[in-house]
Amino acid sequence: MPEVSRFFGIVIGMYYKEEHSVPHFHAIYSGQRASFTISDLRLIEGHLPKRIVSFVLEWAFEHRNELMEDWELTRARKPLKWIEPLE
């Protein structure tokens, strides 16, 4: 899965499959995975520790437009742009 960001041991990635119609991204931390919608930052699949979810949501809120741009790129099968990590 192509990475779009990485911070505090969290890997943020994105890929597109036809059955994935809702714009979303994936977060991986310590072998655990979760998926979040881009529009309302809702957890739609998986589980992460609460503290990690709060980091992911803080980052995603700051970069929602960039996440949507990357979603459009992945749908077009184009390389994704790197998004600055949470500091």
3-state secondary structure of 16: coil
Q: What 3-state DSSP class applies to 3? A: strand
Give the pLDDT of the chain (87 residues) as one tens digit per residue: 899 999 999 999 998 876 667 999 999 999 999 999 999 999 999 999 999 999 999 999 999 999 999 999 998 999 999 999 999
C-alpha 83/C-alpha 70 separation (Å) is 9
Q: Residue 83: which of 28, 69, 34, 21 has the closest Cα? A: 69
- Which residues, in sequence order, are CB contacts of 65 under 8 Å at separation 6+? none
Element (H, E) at 50: helix 50-62
CB atoms under 10 Å from CB of 84, counted, come to 11
pTM (2 decimals)?
Answer: 0.93
